[in-house]
Amino acid sequence: MGFSEEEPRRLRGGQSRCPYCGLLQDRVATLEQDWVLLEPDMSPLAHTVPAEHRWIELSDGRVAVYGVCPPDPYQRCRVEHRLACSAQPLPDLWPWLTSLRGENARRAEREAGSEPPRFPEQWPDAG
């Protein structure tokens, strides 16, 4: 599968095809004099996207990571195509949840090794 160059090359941004899935992605300049490939026609509310993956458009057309916390409830953002690409593995979007899962896996292993699993007795009375 080769990289298709049918889109005209543009100096300032434009679109290119994803080499993994073949779909179009927006090539947008960032504040750091770099480029980022964003999912086209997609502007979710910023608070629904993990903080370090929110890109907001600035007045000059460039984009920057939107690190405001807590985010403005009406702020829209862009996401990188690689997060939406069906042909690429999803990066770790919630690292703290991933470490919590790892910690819980070790805890479950320890508890399973020390005593047989049983119904949790600290549950509140449901009646």
Chain residues that interact with Zn ion, rule: CB under 5 A: 18, 20-21, 85
Q: Which is nearer to Zn ion, 38 or 49 (CB)?
A: 38
CA distance 67 to 50: 10
Supply the minimum distance, in Å, between the C-beta of residue 26 and Zn ion: 12
H-helix or E-strand spanning residue 28 = strand 24-29
How near is the Cβ of 80 to Zn ion at its closest, in Å?
A: 10
Task: Name the minimum Å distance from CB 8 to Zn ion.
Answer: 20
Burial class (CB in 10 A: 0-12, 13-18, 19+), 28: buried
Regarding beta strands 35-38 and 24-29, do their DSSP bridges make them parallel or antiparallel, or are they unpaired?
Answer: antiparallel
Q: Shortest distance, CB of residue 79 to Zn ion, whole angstroms?
A: 12
* Token code pair at residue 80: 């990188």
